[in-house]
Amino acid sequence: MKFTEPTDSYDDSEFNKYKGTSDSFGSPKVSSHIWNYELPKLVTEIHVAIVRALDEFGFEDEGNFTFEITE
């Protein structure tokens, strides 16, 4: 897994949506919570990704999500 420093895509879309209006807000900042992982070639089926994280205090957390490859 690789840590990257892009802006958050949600912040980007909201910034562009409201840019130039009375509801506009500051430009998106670099995010400190985005990580990328290049998946291997997966077969067409349902997959489960399990993500485990360990913080600087030694606490571990785990989450998962299901996704489907259709083509």
Residue 60 in tokens: 């571990």
**Tokens 């997959």 — which residue?**
47
Counting the structural domains of the chain, the total is 1
Distance CA 41, CA 49 (A): 14
Higher pLDDT, 40 or 35: 40
Per-residue pLDDT at 4 exceeds 80: no
Whole-model pTM over 0.75: no
Buried b (16+ CB within 10 A) or exposed e, 32-57: eeeeeeeeeeeeeeeeeeeeeeeeee
Q: For 19-31, what is the mean pLDDT?
A: 84
Confidence of residue 14 (pLDDT cuts 50, 70, 90): confident
Rg of the Cα trace of the chain? 17
Domain extent at residue 33: 2-68
